[in-house]
Amino acid sequence: MWEEESPDSFRRKLIWWLAGLVVVAAAGFGIWYEFLFHPAPAAPPTVAAPPAPPPVAAQPAVSHPLPATGGGNEALPALNDSDSMVQEALTAALGKPTIEALLVPQNIVRHIVVTVDNLERHKVAPELRPVKPTAGQTVVSTQGDLTVLSAANFDRYTTFVHAVQAADVKALAALYQREYPLFQQAYEDLGYPGKYFNDRLVEVIDHLLETPEISTPIQLEQPRVFYTFADPTLESRSAGQKLLIRMGPANARIIKAKLRELRAEIVSKK
């Protein structure tokens, strides 16, 4: 049985409950008022980091720098507009008859660069060569069942070899150095950014100088339209070395001598 509460006791408890509710309500109102009229200070704005500077284009690593010329910087045309200037300079260095007989006058710098780059490879695209095709067909001799490269074939290269032999290498090297930015741009456009064209040129010259001199008759095969070397060690050589072999040993010696002269002119002596 529960004891009944007196009216006075009930009224006192009721008064305390109401007082507690008032205190809680007042506290809640104070918090709301403070939030409404005195908002918390905003967080300081985040300072964005400055953008990183663009990367500096890497300069080509140079193994064989060109010699210092000591001259002023000559204004050069755009690469695609350089044919007339290059042809004029080559004509002054080699003579008009030689240039008319040998030079393909379109895309001269680009064709020189792509041909140099390909001489160490297995093939050189004929349509990208800076010189006109060698006149005539390959001259062969038949000895029984054997087909060999005829000594008469070497005469097909006479015009080219005489032009090389007569060339003023110092003048050609000076022309090359003066117009080198065009060669460098053509080389980078070919797919070699960050590479130095003069390094590639020296590398190819050294490769051509390693071409063996073959004085014995060279046996040929004709599996399709064109002749190939029957000796697989010869046929596997680069396009540039095979060209020197097809020229014959005497012509190859002349070309090699000029290549050595050119190499000496385009590499800094330090």
d(CA 257, CA 15): 121
Residue 127 lies in a domain: yes
pLDDT over 70 for what percent of the chain? 76
The per-residue pLDDT for 85 is 96
The per-residue pLDDT for 71 is 54
For 140-168, the pLDDT digits (tens) are 999 888 999 999 999 999 999 999 999 99
> How many independent structural domains does the chain possess?
1
Q: Work out the burial of residue 258: count CB atoms within 10 Å of its CB; fewer than 13 is exposed, 13-18 middle, 19 or more buried.
A: middle
For 230-246, the pLDDT digits (tens) are 999 999 999 999 999 99
d(CA 172, CA 201): 14
Residue 174 lies in a domain: yes
Whether residue 196 is predicted with pLDDT greater than 80 in this model: the reply is yes
pTM of the model: 0.76
Residue 96 lies in a domain: yes
Residue 261 lies in a domain: yes
d(CA 108, CA 92): 16
Whether residue 5 is predicted with pLDDT greater than 80 in this model: the reply is no
Mean pLDDT of 46-63: 60
Domain, as residue range, for 120: 79-135+154-211+249-266
Could you tell me how far CA 233 lies from the centroid of its own chain?
A: 30
Residue 85 lies in a domain: yes
Mean pLDDT of 222-236: 93
Whether residue 37 is predicted with pLDDT greater than 90 in this model: the reply is no
Q: State both tokens at 121.
A: 């490879």
Could you tell me which residue, 204 or 69, shows the higher pLDDT? 204
Could you tell me which residue, 37 or 170, shows the higher pLDDT? 170
Residue 140 lies in a domain: no
Mean pLDDT of 183-210: 97
Could you tell me which residue, 214 or 29, shows the higher pLDDT? 214
Mean pLDDT of 86-90: 96
Whether the CB-CB separation of 208 and 241 falls below 8 Å is answered with yes
d(CA 133, CA 49): 61
Whether the CB-CB separation of 246 and 160 falls below 8 Å is answered with no
Could you tell me which residue, 212 or 27, shows the higher pLDDT? 212
The per-residue pLDDT for 224 is 85
The per-residue pLDDT for 92 is 92
Residue 221 lies in a domain: no
Residue 186 lies in a domain: yes
The per-residue pLDDT for 50 is 55
Could you tell me which residue, 165 or 41, shows the higher pLDDT? 165
